[in-house]
Amino acid sequence: MNRSEIVFYLNGQRQVVSGPDVFLPLSSYLRYSLHLTGTKVVCSEGDCGACTVVLGWLDAENKLSYRMVDSCIQFVYQLDLCHVISIEGIGTENNLHPAQKAMVEHFGSQCGFCTPGFVMALVDLTEKQSTYNSVDVREKLTGNLCRCTGYEAIVKAALSLSDTKVQSIIQSYNQEQMTSEFRALRGDNVLIEADTGFAQKKFFKPSSLAEALNHKSQHPKVRLVAGATDVGVQANKRRSHDTEIMFIAHLHEMGSITVPKNPTEPQSAASGSQIPRIEIGAVANWTDIREAVRPLIPAFAEILDIFAAEQIRNAATIGGNIANGSPIGDSLPVLYALDATLTVQSAAGSRQVLMNNFFRGYKQMDLKQDEILTNVSIPVPRPGSILKLYKVSRRKDLDISTATLAIYLEMEDGKVSSSRIAAGGVGPTIQRLSKAEGILSGEKLTESLLRQAGKAAVGEIAPLTDVRGSREYRLQLIENLFHKFYFEEIRAREVA
């Protein structure tokens, strides 16, 4: 069955949207179509968090799963079969939510423009945890920026809610009513065409992966959208003018994460045993990926800790990060270093592509017009191996990388038996540093050897100068990271 409208709930009230409003950012729909102006917009890039809302969508078990997102880079068409809770849905003038009361009592607001976003982040915190400390609070507020009150009062407001019984806002809404309707509509394709005033646009939401592949074969230039964390920014800044869009984030066939049962068993090529792998669907979001990889690839999880902020991680997908093709994509160096394999599918079948062979040039990929990236297979590092990842940016949290580096070394008898090293932000694509790898292979790791490898790496890269750093800075940075690796990983182990 086909539908020609988007169906979702907003603060428990059913919404049916068709026509040009479907292509609006959620924040614009709230403010200008519904006149719910509590949700504020500042950056329109997902950086400030003033527009934070709590969003519930059907998970693989047909239950509503709630997480906070930035509404400025969530389009209305992404909300089909979702429940949105905005600042207007958590309390009233005479019955404030405890998070609102705490902000008032601890003077957590000054100009007040960012306050709704902070409140919604704290609401999400109280829904997820009953006890938390200042570290938990600061991590939760990473995606929210304040420039006048400062964070101390806001953190105190949050801490005052710890160990107190806060009634669940989510459960105050009729979850069964919403999920029952969503389940009934889940099998529909959604097809909408509308004149937005700027262009005639088409939107398609497939009910299955098979429908998505069929649509891609018939519309090879259609823009695929999952989390929209990059597409949303480009659209808001008038740098993107997509007229054909297909939404795929809801396709659980390409959203699951499978972790090996016995990843620590000895791995031996001679014995014919296969290397354990983590299988990640292309539309899996970074919040779920971070938790899945932490026990098996902790270095990857540590990079994901500073991969944007929670609002972004809850929406952004691994497939989007790869298919975006950015040479500074934070996930790409580790996928290169661990020799990940991608699965791409079309209506005619599927094939596997090594991550190291996927990019052919700037924004050029081994992906045919009728194909969709559906899965990422990541080998678990071998026991005794060394994996170190670096991200250098102007600030620690919620920032674009200046340069990245991944070093993966397999060790045998105290020497490097195999090495894979990849750098980002140093050329038109992520780049393997083969000369540096060659210097390390077969050798015992020493300070002088790492310095030599760093100098060799500099000779392999050709970074540009931009607002995040000069060419000379990036060259010196990559060389220095090899030296840093020695002291953090090799010397530190010797001292211990």
Domain count, the chain: 3
* Residue 456 host element (H or E): helix 447-458
- Answer yes or no: is 93 within a domain: no
Residue 204 sits in the same domain as residue 319: no
Strands 223-225 and 52-58: what pairing? Answer: unpaired
Residue 366 sits in the same domain as residue 448: yes
CA pair distance 164, 126, nearest whole angstrom:
9
Q: For residues 97, 101, 106 and 110, what is the CA-based torsion angle, rounded to 10 degrees?
A: 90
Q: And the tokens for 392?
A: 């250098």
Give 386-434 pLDDT, tens digit per residue: 999 999 999 888 889 999 999 999 999 999 999 999 999 999 999 999 9
Give 34-91 pLDDT, tens digit per residue: 999 999 999 999 999 999 999 999 999 999 999 999 999 999 999 999 999 999 999 9
pLDDT at 491: 87
CATH, residue 409: 3.30.465.10
pLDDT at 40: 97
CA pair distance 255, 207, nearest whole angstrom:
14
* CA nearest to 301, candidates 375, 355, 381: 381
- Answer yes or no: is 225 within a domain: yes
Structural domain containing residue 476: 257-495
Give 234-276 pLDDT, tens digit per residue: 999 888 789 999 999 999 999 999 999 876 655 544 444 588 9
Residue 150 sits in the same domain as residue 224: no
Q: Report whether pLDDT(332) > 60.
A: yes
Residue 239 sits in the same domain as residue 370: no
CATH, residue 133: 1.10.150.120
Question: Pick from 123, 143, 168: which residue ends a domain?
Answer: 168
| 480: DSSP letter | H
Question: Pick from 233, 254, 275: which residue ends a domain?
Answer: 254
| 285: DSSP letter | B
Residue 210 sits in the same domain as residue 177: yes
Residue 261 sits in the same domain as residue 232: no
Give first-to-last CA distance, the chain, whole Å.
64
Q: And the tokens for 232?
A: 């949303």
| 32: DSSP letter | I
Q: Report whether pLDDT(182) > 80.
A: yes
Give 351-379 pLDDT, tens digit per residue: 999 999 999 999 999 999 999 999 999 99
Q: And the tokens for 382?
A: 């071998």
Question: Pick from 206, 224, 254: which residue ends a domain?
Answer: 254
Contact indicator for 327, 336 with CB cutoff of 8 Å: no
| 423: DSSP letter | E
Residue type, 274: Q
Residue 318 sits in the same domain as residue 377: yes
Half-sphere exposure (CA, 13 Å, Cβ side) for 77?
33
- Answer yes or no: is 55 within a domain: yes
Residue 272 sits in the same domain as residue 397: yes
Residue 128 sits in the same domain as residue 12: no
